[in-house]
Structure formats: structure tokens, C-alpha cells
Structure 1
Amino acid sequence: MVASEEARRLVGMTDASRTPTPIDTIADAWVDTLAELEPSLATYIGRFEYNDRFGDYSPEGTERLVAEARATHAALSAATPADAIDEVTKVDLLREIDLQLELHDADWHLRNINVIASPVQELRSVFDLMPTATADDWSVVATRLRALPGAIDGYVETLRQGIAKGVVPARRQVVESITQIGRYTADSGFFATFAGDAAPAEGQLPASLAVELSDSANAARVAYDQLADFLSRELAPASSEKDAVGRELYALNSRRFLGATIDLDETYEWGVEELRRMVEEQTSIANEIKAGASVEEAVAFLEQDASRKLHGTDALQKWMQETSDRAVEELGRTHFDIAEPIRRLECMIAPTKEGGIYYTGPTDDFSRPGRMWWSVPEGVTEFDTWRELTTVYHEGVPGHHLQIAQAVYNRAQLNSWRRLLGGTSGHAEGWALYAERLMQQLGYLDDPADRLGMLDGQRMRAARVVLDIGVHLEKPRLDGSGVWDHDYALDFMRGNVNMPDEFVQFEVNRYLGWPGQAPSYKVGQRIWEQLRDDVAAREGAAFDIKAFHKRALDIGGVGLDTLREALAS
């Protein structure tokens, strides 16, 4: 437990440098180790010295990472905190490593394939974040492309070990991943267009480099096609028909994504009630949009409103950027202290078509800014601003960008692990949902249509709590007709969201392959709101919401149990 007055003083400072402690040194060394062993992760945080290669995805590579984790755990366990910041670092990093080791012991890495966050996607998506401004940058890209076949070979070896041990993923995740790979390697897919469109900011690529880049991209395409062949011929036949991972593995993954231990059964029941409340709130606002209208009728009415339509991804990107820039400028004058480096946020259309909207943080020196990405599914060409306004606030300011970039900026206090790698989905996504509601309270969603869009998202997140826990714990269906499964989950989701069916199908497949992640948004919001209310009750009339936000965000990324302890009296 962090001593309250000291913690509150230390975690709220951003303007005074702090002498690094032995615990800071251990945490920084762990980041160095991860950067070396997982170069894609290094790229993500702006460590470019390993941009020319991939990590070792084979079983031997996993064992080396585990050995380094155990060594770091031992060193950190023996270290004595020098202050309250050290106490937070020690508690949270030990929890993080403990969980990694538990997941390893459960052989989670042997079944690591899904539609959104597995090596299938990671080996490709790292190229989205690599510098491409100069010919030298493109030379590094070509070198990493040449290294991709070796990384895929190691990954296949790990999955084969899983087959041998009888530790296999759900077949649905394998089949959907094969489809994704087909899009990557098509003649109009990522690797062909990425190499074909290559150009530095100034001038042209040397002819020899253009040939090297094309050859390397073709080799990467071949390697991905070979991965798809392995998935089709070997892994799919051995994989499980069941989507559910069961209570034990689900509990591990829930802790992984929350950084907190929750009562899964109580949370399921809370999710059912929260979903009911969201439906009631939506119904009330639908009546404001059109007298006597149901939610479905209000949505249909808004979908006919041409003034709320965007046509094409260029218009979507421009609107995202303008909306984000306006929020940064206005909130930076009134409600938040937003340092100059944090004010730059780039809104991007992702080069893939999987579905989903996501954020990538800035590099440690802000040379690459925070970015909001929209992966638009094939065939989707129209976008409704009333649905998506709150998404921009969620991914940008005051959501992910403010939270994550503030931690990066707070280098005077926080070691590199706390700034760049600490935290969980529940901490980050919970804050982003908390931020959506905050924008409503600040008057940015006064238009009933925009509030309906926000509630559409909140309703979806509540539905995901119920669906995710329901499927993976094989709970009884809400209608009593059996237990949760894919088909029931898909029908349930279709009944609770207003979005193109391509999005819905991707989302459900995502939940089934990434257990515990989807509920971390709404459960994280619940915990953030509980923390705020606890502090407000404790401080009474002295409570300052702006000060609370600053103090909480200045802690940086931590698990939600650690955050609770750091903010407790």
C-alpha cells in the first residue's frame, strides 16, 4: 500500500526532475530487454535501433524471454523502494511479470492466434509505425521485410508444439486468420501496395533499393502464404470447435487486461443490469430525436440525415482531424493542462480493412506523434458523424491520447517502463470510456443525436461484458434456451448495436479469440468512476475534479488494483 500523503505529493508532480533509483534502473533495464527481444514492441514505443529485425517467435525465443522475466522479478523483489513512486513501480511491475509467468505456465503462447492481436497481425502491422521519410528508412524497411520469413518460421514452430501438446486455439480464429492473410498477400493487398507505393518524402528511391524492396516484400508475401498453408493443413484440423476458453484461463486473461481481480459472476450480473440501463437511457433520447420513436426508429431517422453523413475515407479522415484539433484546442484552454508536444495528434486511415479503431502512442521524444487509426472494412464507404463523434474523443482528447501521451511526457518522474509499457487495457480503455461521459458532462454531446451515438458505444461495451463472460464461461443464455455460443452471441450483438454487419461479425470474432479484453473497457470505466467517487467522498468540499484527473494521469500506466492503492488514503 502506498502511503497516502507522500504518494499524493509525488505522483502529482510533473515539473521537478527526480534522481533515478535502483528500482527505476531495474524497470528501465526490463524495457531494454523487451526492446531487444521483442523488436516490434520496440518500434511501437519509438525505439528504432531494432527496426531491421523481428524477435524470435520460436519456443526457444519464448523461453529466453521467460528466463529474463524471472531474473527481473528476482532483482525487483530484492530491491527496497526509495519513495512512493518506487512503491508503485515495484508493486505493479511484479504483478505484471507474475501474470506473464502464469500465462506461460498455462501454455497460452502455444495457442496464440486470433483475429486482432496475435503474431498474424503484429508481424504485418509493425510496418505501419516504421519511419519512411528517407531512402535510408526504406532500406531498413526492406531489411525487416527480409527477416519476416524467419519470424513466421519460429511462430509456426511454436504452434506446432501446441499441436503436439494438445494445446490448440479455437478453429474459428484460425479460419478467420487465414482470410486475413489472403487480404495481406493479394495482388492488391498490403505487401504489394506497400512496396509499390514506397517513396521517401523527397526524391525517389535508388533503383537498386526499389528492386530490393520489391523482392523483400514478395518474400514476405510468400512467407505469409506459407503460414496460411500451415494454418489450413495442420492447425485448423487439430484446433478446437469450442470458442470458450473456460473459467481458469478466462480469469487469467481478465487479470491481464484489467490489472485487477474481479468477481466474474458478479460482473456478469452487473453487465446485464448496466445493459438494461443503457437501453432505457437510449430510449429516452430517441424520443428527443423524434417524438414517440423507438431507438431503432431514431437511428433510421438519423441515417437519412444527409447533413450527418461522410462519404469516403478522405472525408472521414478530414473530419476526424478537424474534430480532434478542435477538442485539443478548446479543452487545452479550459479543462486540462495539455503540454505542447501532446497537442499534436494525427488521424489516420489504416492500410488494412479488418475493422476496428485504435490508437498508437507517441515515441518517447514525440518525433512520431500519437495517432488515431481507423481500419475501414471492405465495402464500407459511408460514415455517420453522430455515431462517431464520441469515438474521436475516446481515441483522442480527453481519451487515450491525453492519458498515454501525458505519461510519456512525464519523464521527469517516471521511468521508461511506467511511461511507455506499464498499464492495462482496463486502465486505458476504462479511462477512454470515462472520458466519453466526461465530454457529455462538459456539454460536447448536447445534441441528442451525438448523445445517442455515445450511448450506442456505451451500450455496445456493456453488451460485450455480458457476451464475453457468457461465452467463455459457458453461462446460460439470457433467454434460457441453452448456453452461450457463437451463434447466440452474434444474434445478441446484432440486437444491441447499430453498425454495419461486417463490423458486428468482426467484433464477435474478436471477443471469442481475445478473452477478457472486451469487458475491460466497461469494467475499467466502472473502476475509474468508483475511484473518483471514493476520492470525492474522502475529500468532501475540497475535492477538485481537475486536480484528481491530473494526479491520476500523472501516475502513468498501471494496473487498476495498483491505481486504487496509489490513490487511496
Structure 2
Amino acid sequence: MTQNRDETTTTAAHREPTAVDSIADSYTARLLALDPSLATELGFPGRETEYPDYSPAGHEAKAALARATLAELNTATAADPTDEVTLDAMRERLGLALEIHESGWKLAQLNNIESPAQGIRAIFDLMPTDTAEQWGHIAGRAANVPAALDGYLASLRAAAADGRVAAARQVRTVVGQARAYAEPGTGFFAQLAADARLGQAPERAASSTAHDAAAPLPDDVAEALSRGCEAASRAYAAFADALEAELLPQAPEKDAVGRERYALASREFLGAAVDLEETYAWGVEELDRLIQEQERVAEEIRPGASVEEAKAVLNADASRQLKGTDALRAWMQRLSDRAIADLADTHFDIPAPLRTLECRIAPTHEGGIYYTGPSDDFSRPGRMWWSVPTGDDSFTTWSETTTVYHEGVPGHHLQVGTATYRRDMLNAWRRTICWVSGHGEGWALYAEKLMEELGYLSDPGDRMGMLDMQRMRAARVVFDIGVHLELEMPGRWGTGPWTPEKGYSFLRANLPISEGQLRFEFTRYLGWPGQAPSYKVGQRLWEQIRADLAERAETAGHGFDLKEFHTRALNLGSVGLDTLRRALLG
């Protein structure tokens, strides 16, 4: 790629869609036809009751589309710098997707957080519930859950026949999740049917006041929803039985995936190839540095206090306490609204549609905080979700402030929302389809550090919380690479090669989360190799790019414009980190 410096300043007045854009838009349309769930996620109407084909044939259809599109891209000529970025990004993403497909592991995908086992259920969280027609869509999709799970099970069986099965720990975990979804009376689908009201979003159903105030569904819709949810519950129960009877006996007890599979996964999540040993060593050093920084902040909180003692002081401070999920949601919303108001037009360009961010408590209790982007037309705004584990009812603001910036503004909401908004500059694939974890999560960690830089974490407690989160992400680099490659443990934390058992104690020492969250995260890292390190490694690459641009500006004799950097970078959309470097640095 060359002459990329002007790519992000192109506007609708200067740029008409090109042949490369046409290829990208055609790929997007055909992909959405193959993946109705993705269309729902992006807010595109039509086929709201359908699921993708999760069977081997469905996977092959997506691979065939990638092959055909790559053939078109390989004969295309860039008309401008925007096209150069599109070609670079699409060739990298689609080419890598084919490598993963050909490895056979895509058919075997099963873990506790990001596999069709969760996705088939989770799509209901994003479906609108205002009208009888929309509830009819939910009823129809619930009725199609059995076929979706059958297709998924066919892929798992095909992969198992070739010797590719997720680790037993993941299988047992998903069995438990599936049975929880299917539980009569209390499972997700039973509650979805029981609590359904017009205008009643699932996460609000637990509120009796909101439930009583909402209008009931028409009888025919309620009956269809009941039938669909009963079918979905039975299907998830049968799916759990099949996993336990068929897959679990074939599943390896060993969690480590090994170097070859890990390297492929790392490239998928980063959009860059990194030296795994060097990255592991850097992670160990970064973890040590962050612990030392925490020790300095602990001294500010109470002279002579250890890090843990300083946290105890913060936890005992009534002004930093939140009780209950309603208080948590309201506090998240206030903090998000303030960040948007303060940062707009100063350090960022924030268009009007992006100035709305909804904070919600998730309808599940699996642990974790996550963001879902706006619909393509912004009729559904970006949303920050908090999935609170059962039993967790007390929260501390000092430990969560930085998470709100990570998921909201200037983190994921600003990043994802900007790409969605820039239809005057970006084709449909770059606006809505392409998502690279290292780019996105790396940006969100960069956003956390930026808020410290801008003075929003000057309170020692809030800064301790930010350091806790940064420390957690550094520890994940060490744990994830160390366990999956079975490297030697650093002396500070143990001896001999990493094992999951040693790793659990290591995570407990470095992750400031509840025991329920820790169990979830531990299982997540073991079952989703390469994803957890992409946050901190992505941040490292983002900060290197910014430092290189600042040095270049200084050498050229003019000051570094932080707002301009943010605008140029965010206007690119999510791309692989190697593509990002080439686009911004040339």
C-alpha cells in the first residue's frame, strides 16, 4: 500500500463508490444472506426468524464465497487510497478465514463464551420487542432453534470424526449452559415466554413494575411464542444430552492447543503475526511494571499500605459503593453520558447519532461486560451490557470506572459507532462486517490509558481500578501464551511448564474479579486461545503506531495533533493491525 495518508480525509463530495467498493458490498450482501443472525445483529430487516446454516454445508458455503471474492479482489485495481486499505484488509481477512476453514477447527468450535452454543440463544437479546410483529419474529426464531442446533451438532460430529474435539472442560461447561437455557420454569426460554410483553425488553422483565405496566401480547402471538420457546428448550436439552453422550467421551482432557493452532488463532485475533516468545516475555515484564505502579498508587491511598490493603480501604469507602443492579446501571449511564459530553468536539469528533449510548443489565448471569453496536440506521443505539453472575449484588465504582470507558466512550462505542456512521467514506464491509479483536480491544485499552492521560482517572482509587484492568490484561498474555504453548513459568509465579492448575492460582493473584467471574474467565481463556492476549497486545501495537506518528511529526517540525490522529484512525473502521500500521504510516 502507498499514499495512504489521505485515505481518512476523503469525503462524500470527493469520492464516488469504486469497483473495489462494489466487490466489498457484494460480498457483504451475500454474507448476510448466508447469516441472518448477523443481519439481525447489524439491524438489517428481513429474515428475522431465520438462523445461519451451522452444518458443514453452511461452513463450506461461506468458504466458497470467500474464495470467489478473493478471486475478484486479486484482479481489482485500487482507484484511490481508500481502495488500497480495502484491498489490504479484505485479502488479509478472507485469506485467513480460508486457512482457518481448511484447518478443520471451525467445525469444532465450542467453548463457554463464543460459539454457536451461546450465539443461537444470544441473538434474542438484540431483537426488538415493541410490537406484536416483532414478538412474532422472536416466536419464529425460537421455533427454528432446533434446526440450528441440529446443524451445529452435525458440524461437531464431522469434526470429531476427523479427530478434532474441543477440550472436555469446554464440553462439560457448554452442557451446563445448555441445560440452564432449557430449565423448565427458570431457563432462558421459559422466562422469555412467561415475561413477554409489548415493549418489554428481556433484561427488564425481572422488574415487576415494568412488567405490570407493559401490554400483554395478542393471544395468537403468545401461543406461537410459547410453542417456539418450548421447542427451543427441548432442543437445548437434547443438545446437552448429545454433547454429553457423544462428544464428551471423545474430548481430550488436555486444554493446551499447541503452537500451530495457537499461531493461527493469534493471527485471527490480531490481524498481525507476532513473535509468540517475545510477546510472552514482554507480557511478563509488563505485568511486573504494572504491579510496581499499583504499589506506588497504594502508597497514595494509605501510606505504607500494600496493594491489597489499599483495595480494602477503597472497598470500605461507602462513597464508592453501589448496591444492586439498578444502581449499577444508573451509575454506568451517568458516567457514559458525562464522557460523551466532555470528549465531543475536544479530543474526538463524535457525530450526533453516536452521542446516545444505552447502559443495560444483561438478561443472562454468565459474567462479563460487553458492547453491542448500533443498527445500521442507528434506530437501535449502541449498548453496554453487564452480565452479572448470580449472587453478585454489590459493586465498587473505583474498580469499574475504567470498564465504562473501555466499553463506551472513548472505547468500543466510539470505535464501532464511528465505523457504522461513516457511510460517506467506507463501503458496507468496512463499516459493518470487519471486526478484528486486537484492533477493537486494543483500542479500548488504549482508551483506558487515554482517559488517565486526560485527567479522568486522577483519583487514586479510579487509577488503581485502571491499573487492575491493565494488570489483568497483561496477566492474560502471560497465562494464555504460557499455558497453550506450555512454556516455562516465570520465577515469580512458579516453576516448570505452565498447566491450567498452576494458571488458576496465577489468575486469582492477578485478576480483580469475583470467584464466579474467575471461573468463567479461566474457562474462557482455555477454550478461546489467542483472544484474551489480543487486548493488551493490540494496545501495545496501537501505542507503537501513535508513538511513531508523533515522532514523525516532531521530525517534520510540527506538533502532533491528537484529535486528528483519533479521527484518522477511527475513520478507517476495524482492520487488522498490520493493515492499520500500513494505512497510518505508509
TM-score w.r.t. the length of structure 1 is 0.98
1-structure distance, mates of 2:58, 2:527: 23
Give the letter aligned to residue 54 of structure 2.
Y
Match of 2:561 in 1: 544
> In the TM superposition, what is the alpha-carbon distance from 1:17 to its structure 2 partner?
6.0
Aligned residues: 566
The answer (yes or no) to whether the contact 1:260–1:560 under 8 Å persists in 2 is: yes
Match of 1:290 in 2: 302
* Partner SS for 2:107: helix
Are positions 1:528 and 2:526 aligned together?
no
| Matched ranges for 1:230-245 at <5 A | 230-245=242-257
1-structure distance, mates of 2:347, 2:60: 47
2-structure distance, mates of 1:217, 1:397: 36
Q: 1:140 aligns with which of 137, 140, 145?
A: 137
2-structure distance, mates of 1:127, 1:303: 36
CA deviation profile, 1:488-528 (whole Å, cap 9, x unmatched):
11100001122211111111110111110000000000000
Q: 2:5 aligns with which of 3, 8, 11?
A: 8
Match of 1:446 in 2: 458
The answer (yes or no) to whether the contact 1:427–1:559 under 8 Å persists in 2 is: yes
Match of 1:189 in 2: 187
2-structure distance, mates of 1:533, 1:317: 36
Match of 1:510 in 2: 524
The answer (yes or no) to whether the contact 2:489–2:497 under 8 Å persists in 1 is: yes
* Partner SS for 1:110: coil
Are positions 1:71 and 2:68 aligned together?
yes
Give the letter aligned to residue 187 of structure 2.
G
> In the TM superposition, what is the alpha-carbon distance from 1:532 to its structure 2 partner?
0.3
1-structure distance, mates of 2:388, 2:497: 33
Q: 1:486 aligns with which of 493, 497, 500?
A: 500
* Partner SS for 1:108: coil
> In the TM superposition, what is the alpha-carbon distance from 1:128 to its structure 2 partner?
0.5
> In the TM superposition, what is the alpha-carbon distance from 1:478 to its structure 2 partner?
2.3
Q: 1:429 aligns with which of 441, 464, 482?
A: 441
1-structure distance, mates of 2:181, 2:325: 20
* Partner SS for 1:358: strand
Give the letter aligned to residue 194 of structure 2.
G
The answer (yes or no) to whether the contact 1:169–1:240 under 8 Å persists in 2 is: yes
Match of 2:202 in 1: none
CA deviation profile, 1:253-279 (whole Å, cap 9, x unmatched):
101001111110000000000000000
Match of 2:576 in 1: 559
* Partner SS for 1:159: helix
Change (3 A) 1:322 1:15: farther
1-structure distance, mates of 2:64, 2:7: 33
* Partner SS for 1:542: coil
2-structure distance, mates of 1:199, 1:258: 42
The answer (yes or no) to whether the contact 1:114–1:173 under 8 Å persists in 2 is: yes
Match of 2:208 in 1: none
* Partner SS for 1:233: helix
Give the letter aligned to residue 125 of structure 1.
A
Match of 2:206 in 1: none
1-structure distance, mates of 2:246, 2:497: 30
Give the letter aligned to residue 551 of structure 1.
R
2-structure distance, mates of 1:519, 1:275: 13
| Mean Cα deviation higher: 395-404 or 541-550 | 541-550
Match of 1:205 in 2: 217
2-structure distance, mates of 1:265, 1:16: 48
> In the TM superposition, what is the alpha-carbon distance from 1:8 to its structure 2 partner?
2.1
| Mean Cα deviation higher: 154-163 or 177-186 | 177-186
| Matched ranges for 1:53-452 at <5 A | 53-186=50-183, 187-201=185-199, 203-452=215-464
CA deviation profile, 1:149-183 (whole Å, cap 9, x unmatched):
00100111111112211111111011111111222
2-structure distance, mates of 1:189, 1:305: 37
* Partner SS for 2:51: coil
2-structure distance, mates of 1:417, 1:548: 23
| Mean Cα deviation higher: 375-384 or 47-56 | 47-56
2-structure distance, mates of 1:118, 1:494: 25
State the identity %. 56
Give the letter aligned to residue 534 of structure 1.
D
Change (3 A) 1:14 1:511: farther
The answer (yes or no) to whether the contact 2:290–2:470 under 8 Å persists in 1 is: yes
* Partner SS for 1:109: coil
2-structure distance, mates of 1:333, 1:159: 50
> In the TM superposition, what is the alpha-carbon distance from 1:33 to its structure 2 partner?
1.5
The answer (yes or no) to whether the contact 1:12–1:555 under 8 Å persists in 2 is: no
* Partner SS for 1:117: coil
> In the TM superposition, what is the alpha-carbon distance from 1:12 to its structure 2 partner?
2.7
2-structure distance, mates of 1:15, 1:554: 13
Match of 1:30 in 2: 27
The answer (yes or no) to whether the contact 1:310–1:384 under 8 Å persists in 2 is: yes
CA deviation profile, 1:530-565 (whole Å, cap 9, x unmatched):
000001111113321111111111111111000000
> In the TM superposition, what is the alpha-carbon distance from 1:199 to its structure 2 partner?
1.5
> In the TM superposition, what is the alpha-carbon distance from 1:66 to its structure 2 partner?
1.0
> In the TM superposition, what is the alpha-carbon distance from 1:486 to its structure 2 partner?
1.3
* Partner SS for 1:380: coil
2-structure distance, mates of 1:282, 1:435: 19
1-structure distance, mates of 2:30, 2:447: 34
2-structure distance, mates of 1:14, 1:325: 29
> In the TM superposition, what is the alpha-carbon distance from 1:42 to its structure 2 partner?
1.4
How large is the RMSD of aligned CA atoms in angstroms? Answer: 1.2
2-structure distance, mates of 1:322, 1:362: 19
Where does the alignment leave 5 or more consecutive residues of structure 2 unmatched?
200-213
After the TM superposition, which segments of 4 or more aligned residues of structure 1 sit over 6 Å from their partners? none
* Partner SS for 1:322: helix
> In the TM superposition, what is the alpha-carbon distance from 1:300 to its structure 2 partner?
1.3
> In the TM superposition, what is the alpha-carbon distance from 1:14 to its structure 2 partner?
4.8
> In the TM superposition, what is the alpha-carbon distance from 1:330 to its structure 2 partner?
1.3
TM-score w.r.t. the length of structure 2 is 0.95
CA deviation profile, 1:70-104 (whole Å, cap 9, x unmatched):
11111111111111100100111111011111011
The answer (yes or no) to whether the contact 2:172–2:244 under 8 Å persists in 1 is: yes
> In the TM superposition, what is the alpha-carbon distance from 1:19 to its structure 2 partner?
1.1
> In the TM superposition, what is the alpha-carbon distance from 1:132 to its structure 2 partner?
1.1
Give the letter aligned to residue 563 of structure 2.
K
The answer (yes or no) to whether the contact 1:359–1:401 under 8 Å persists in 2 is: yes
> In the TM superposition, what is the alpha-carbon distance from 1:453 to its structure 2 partner?
0.2
CA deviation profile, 1:287-318 (whole Å, cap 9, x unmatched):
10011000011111111112111111111111
> In the TM superposition, what is the alpha-carbon distance from 1:110 to its structure 2 partner?
2.6
1-structure distance, mates of 2:369, 2:300: 29
